[in-house]
């Protein structure tokens, strides 16, 4: 429906806001069977009012309430984000580095992995000082490990006669 309306990004943003609001609630509160049908409907109204949700999102909330699946909204949001990225010709890459990357290094990583994927790369950065240096990149289920930690481990294995 978002695609038909030409509002993929706007609805994605609203869905992420909704997922974040629900994430703030205790998990058992949203578990299937925890809320009566009337309370689920009231929650839809409250979320709609609090988030100024648009009609498409309101219909989505109605379906979620009817199925008693408020606990799945975060997963649905992640799936939607993947579809949103696909529609926009981009992919997310988890980039883990030992320290903060400067803009030039980040751009080089985006360019290199953009050529590999054939898509625009949206970096999701994290820091792991145990890497010592270098980076690891997880892209479309594959891990590219260029960390100093891994290079040292390979060197140690090679020196020990292991392959």
* Residues 61 and 45: beta-carbon distance below 8 Å: no
Q: Is the pLDDT of residue 91 over 90?
A: yes
Is the same domain home to 122 and 52?
no
Counting residues of the chain whose pLDDT is more than 70, the rounded percentage is 98
Same domain, 23 and 73: yes
Same domain assignment for residues 80 and 24: yes
Count of structural domains, the chain? 2
Residue 74: band (very low, low, confident or very high) from pLDDT cuts 50, 70, 90: very high
- pLDDT tens for 135-162 read 999 999 999 998 999 888 888 888 888 7
> Does one domain contain both 119 and 47?
no
Which pLDDT belongs to residue 163? 60
The answer to whether residues 136 and 144 touch, using CB atoms and an 8 Å cutoff, is yes
Return the bridge partners of 90, or none. Answer: 120
18-69 pLDDT tens trace: 888 888 888 888 889 998 999 999 988 888 787 776 788 888 889 999 999 9
Q: How far apart are CA 45 and CA 51, in angstroms?
A: 10
99 with 136, same domain? yes
Cα 61 to the chain's mean position, in Å?
Answer: 20
Domain range for residue 57?
Answer: 2-84
Q: Which of 35, 66, 84 is the last residue of a domain?
A: 84
Question: What pLDDT score does 56 carry?
Answer: 84
């Amino acid at each position: 429906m978002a695609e038909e309306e030409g509002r993929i990004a706007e609805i994605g943003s609203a869905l992420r806001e909704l997922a974040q609001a629900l994430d703030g609630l205790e998990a058992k509160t949203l578990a299937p069977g925890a809320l009566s049908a009337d309370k689920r409907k009231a929650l839809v109204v409250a979320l709609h009012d609090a988030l100024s949700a648009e009609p498409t999102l309101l219909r989505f909330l109605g379906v979620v309430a009817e199925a008693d699946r408020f606990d799945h909204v975060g997963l649905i949001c992640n799936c939607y984000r993947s579809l949103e990225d696909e529609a926009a010709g981009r992919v997310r890459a988890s980039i883990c580095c030992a320290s903060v990357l400067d803009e030039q290094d980040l751009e080089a990583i985006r360019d290199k992995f953009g050529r590999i994927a054939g898509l625009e790369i949206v970096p999701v950065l994290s820091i792991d000082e145990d890497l010592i240096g270098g980076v690891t990149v997880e892209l479309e289920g594959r891990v590219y490990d260029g960390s100093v930690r891994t290079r040292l481990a390979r060197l140690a294995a090679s020196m020990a006669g292991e392959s």
